Every structure is written in structure tokens, then in C-alpha cells.
Amino acid sequence: MNGIVRITLLLCAGLLVPAGPAIAGQPRSGYAFIKPATRAMQDDDFLNPGMLTVDAGRRLFNRKPDGGNGQACAGCHGTDGDKLDVAGIARYPRLRDGKLVTLQEQIGACLARTTGKALPDDHPDRVALETFVRNRAHGVPVDVRTDGPVQALLQQGEQLYRTRYGLIDISCSHCHDLYPGEMLRGQRISEGQGNGFPAYRLDTGEITTLQQRIGQCLTLMRAEPFASGSEENRLLELYIMSRSNGLPVETPAVRY
């Protein structure tokens, strides 16, 4: 039986007792819910398969684009990103000139400006660069702003997070707020934090961005996923990342 279907049936039957949310102000990374062997894989750069994408992103970061007069990302941000503002990386998504911008969108805008060529959302090169850049901030606490003009956007993101979707008719909050620690398809449900993304998923065998993971969850709910880069996905990414404030960036985390 599909794990989410099983949870839905248990919810309806009243046989699953909510574990309850974490203590206020103390979010728990998905790292707290994975198996010891998976933790060991994540902690060792030689074992962590996500580091292959970090290396691919590093090569793209340092390489001058073919043709034209474009320059490498390293031309502004230093070889291997040694001039990157790691605290700033940990603040994405963020408002820029009144517009909500994700880290991948910022990378895409930089690429379009320096190469004259725009790449679509979740293009492999953009994902690799996002993974590399986020990895430069490894260990830095997530610090998404939650006050000022962004508050209205956070409320919209939270509404989407608590909306029921699909034939399964559950929301993100049903799993990640009420039942963290319960078993689902052989793994424990986490709090759905975003501090490890882009993350390597053992289930799919590839690096997955937070927005891609949202789409995978919606598919499991038997719902139509939002389009890559859509307003809904961006608002959900903002809200989920804000819930991770204070947790260290773990990119590339290893998750089931």
C-alpha cells in the first residue's frame, strides 16, 4: 500500500496519533530523521553522491562561456567562489527590488547577463550551479528574512503549504507538522525543512532542488505539480526555507 494512502486511511480511522510539531523555535533538519548509514554518506565528501553535482557546478562556475564576450562566474565571485557572500546565500529566497528571487533565479539572471543566453528553470546547468553555490555556504545558518514587505508573501506561502491537494486530499502540513517521526515507505517523515536542498535523493538517484521535491510530493498526493519557477513554487520555497531559519545549510544533503 502506498505510504501516503496508508497515512490518509489511518488519519480517517483515528489510528495515527500526531507526534506534534517541534518545540517552537527549534526546527529539526531532515538529518535528524535519516538512518545512520545515510548520515555517514552525507558527512563524507567521498561517499556523498551529491558532491558530483557540486564538482560539475564548480567547473561551470570557473569556465568562461564558449563564444561571445561573456565571462565566467569566477570573474566576479572569485575562483571556486572564494569571494561569494556565504551569509547572503543563506538568505535566499529574498526580495530584490520588490520581487521575490530564489537562488536559482539569481544564478539564471547572472548567466543571462554574462552569456546572453537564458536557460529554463531547473536546467541541469542551473541546478549544478545552484548546488555548487549553496554548498559554498555549507554550515552557515539559514537566515531568510521574515519581517517587513516579505510578510505578505510568507502568508501566501503558508496558505499553499496548508492547502489540501489531489485525490489524497492532504496538505504538506499533514505530514511535516503533525507526523514527523512516523514511518512512510521505510523512512521516517521529516519536518520538511529546506536547509539541505538541492539534495541527493536515494529514491531517484539524482540531485533534486526544493521546487522539484515539492513537485514530487504533489505527485504522490495524486495532484498536478506546479510548473517549475511558478509563483506557487516560489512562494512555497520561501515559506519552507523560512521554517528552516537557524538550521545549517547542508547542501548537498542525502535523503531517501
Q: Which helix (H) or strand (E) holds 133?
A: helix 124-136
The C-alpha cell at 82 is 572564494
Active-site residue, from 73, 172, 175, 217:
217
- Which amino acid is located at 187 in the chain? Q
Pairing of strands 94-96, 99-101: antiparallel
The sheet with strand 206-208 has its strands ordered as: 206-208, 199-201, 254-255
Beta bridge partners of 101: 94
Of 92, 127, 90, which Cα lies nearest the Cα of 209?
A: 127
- Which amino acid is located at 57 in the chain? G
> b vs e for 61-80, b when ≥16 Cβ sit within 10 Å of the residue's Cβ?
bbeebeeeeeebbbeebeee
Could you tell me if 129 and 61 are in contact, meaning their C-beta atoms sit under 8 angstroms apart?
A: yes
Examine the residue annotation and report whether 175 is marked as an active-site residue of this protein: no
Q: What is the CA radius of gyration of the chain?
A: 18
Active-site residue list: 217
